[in-house]
Amino acid sequence: MAVRLTEPGVYSLRAADYHADPAPEPSLSNSLIKMLLQKSPRHVQYAHPRLSPNFKPKKVTDAMEDGSILHSLILGTGVPITEVSADNWTSQRAKAARAEARAAGRIPVLSRRLAELHECADAAVEQMMEIEACEPFFDPDARSEVTLLWQLGPLWCRAMADRLAPGGVFFDIKTTSTSVAPADFSRTLEREHATQDVFYRSGGNILAELGLMEAPTAFRFVAIETYEPFCIAVYEAQQTLIEAATTDVHRATATWARCLLNNDWPGYGKEINRVEASVGRMIRAEEAKLDWKMAA
């Protein structure tokens, strides 16, 4: 039976109940904001469990399951794990164990891979304990996988914080098989994650005004490389990025409100998209033309 919440607040929900959207009405989340900004309202309707007439859960990949397991190991909560003692998934016994685990809402993982993920999680936590900015993460009163539900005018919004520490400090765990070096992950944060900071803290501020939680004071991303030596780095969006992301959140929220009100979820539009050459493309073309003339 679907979980339905009736009031704004701070809740402890299973991830499956959160992703099924427990709000009184279809609600907006940061993942939907990103989809509105990067794709179209049609994509949002298709991906929303309460708006799509033919909703299908996102296909689970090994990388997604690894990320969920790491979250569970680091946060101490999350989707339960089933360890499968097998070398791979090719045997009938292993396949059956995997299917049984998934049917029960658990994540199946091979023993060898689970040991590797434990090593990654342990290394990440060890490094976090040496970083002053992560001290609130380990506060005994910090909570993991906390659901925020709030109203923005007539709209319902939701967020699930990986970790919410006393003092209003949010932590979000990001795992990647690429790089979390500042030169690399700073661009990823700007491109993919800045709206999360703005959206979560805006919801937190609304709930704080209602006396339901402490006002947010910080949002910290803990980025973890999932390969040895399992380096981590901590990031915070700064004011210029927050201002730009706030504009994005407002734009996406307005689009969501309009689409929800009219029950109209357009795609990329009906106009011809006329494409001009970029500056870089024109420069390369001129250089190639010059080279061709010199060689003639």
Q: Which helix (DSSP H) or strand (DSSP E) does residue 234 occupy?
A: strand 232-235
- In this prediction the pTM is 0.91
- Provide, rounded to the nearest whole percent, the portion of the chain with pLDDT above 90: 88
Region 132-149: mean pLDDT is 98
Residue 22, token pair as written in the block: 């427990």
Q: Give the C-alpha separation, 273 to 279, whole Å.
A: 18
Q: Residue 26 class from Cβ within 10 Å (0-12 exposed, 13-18 middle, 19+ buried)?
A: middle
Q: Give the C-alpha separation, 168 to 289, whole Å.
A: 59
Three-state DSSP at 69 gives: helix
Residue 157, strand partner residues:
28, 150
User: In this structure, is the dihedral angle defined by the CA atoms of residues 199, 148, 146 and 217, taken in order, positive or negative?
Assistant: positive
Residue 198, token pair as written in the block: 């703005």
Could you tell me if 234 and 220 are in contact, meaning their C-beta atoms sit under 8 angstroms apart? yes
Q: What is the pLDDT of residues 27-55, one digit of tens each?
A: 999 999 999 999 999 999 999 999 998 88
Q: Give the C-alpha separation, 101 to 85, whole Å.
A: 13
Region 263-285: mean pLDDT is 95
| Secondary structure (DSSP) of 126-157 | HHHTT-GGGGGGG-TT-EEEEEEEEEETTEEE
How many angstroms separate the Cα of 112 from the Cα of each of 64, 91, 175, 290?
17, 16, 19, 57
Q: Which helix (DSSP H) or strand (DSSP E) does residue 224 occupy?
A: strand 218-225
Asked if the model's pLDDT at residue 296 lies above 70, the reply is no
Residue 170, token pair as written in the block: 């949010």
Could you tell me if 188 and 238 are in contact, meaning their C-beta atoms sit under 8 angstroms apart? no
Residue that the structure tokens 């927050």 belong to: 242
291 residue type, one letter: D
Residue 206, token pair as written in the block: 């609304």
Residue that the structure tokens 């900071």 belong to: 197
Confidence of residue 294 (pLDDT cuts 50, 70, 90): confident
Residue 282, token pair as written in the block: 């024109």
Asked if the model's pLDDT at residue 94 lies above 80, the reply is yes
Residues 6+ apart with CB under 8 A from 220: 133, 134, 169, 170, 171, 172, 234, 235, 236
CATH 3.90.320.10 matches 9-77+117-295? yes
Query: Which pLDDT does position 259 carry in this prediction?
Result: 98
Could you tell me if 163 and 170 are in contact, meaning their C-beta atoms sit under 8 angstroms apart? yes
| Secondary structure (DSSP) of 186-209 | HHHIIIIIHHHHHHHHHHHHHHHH
Q: What is the pLDDT of residues 209-253, one digit of tens each?
A: 999 999 999 999 999 999 999 999 999 999 999 999 999 999 999
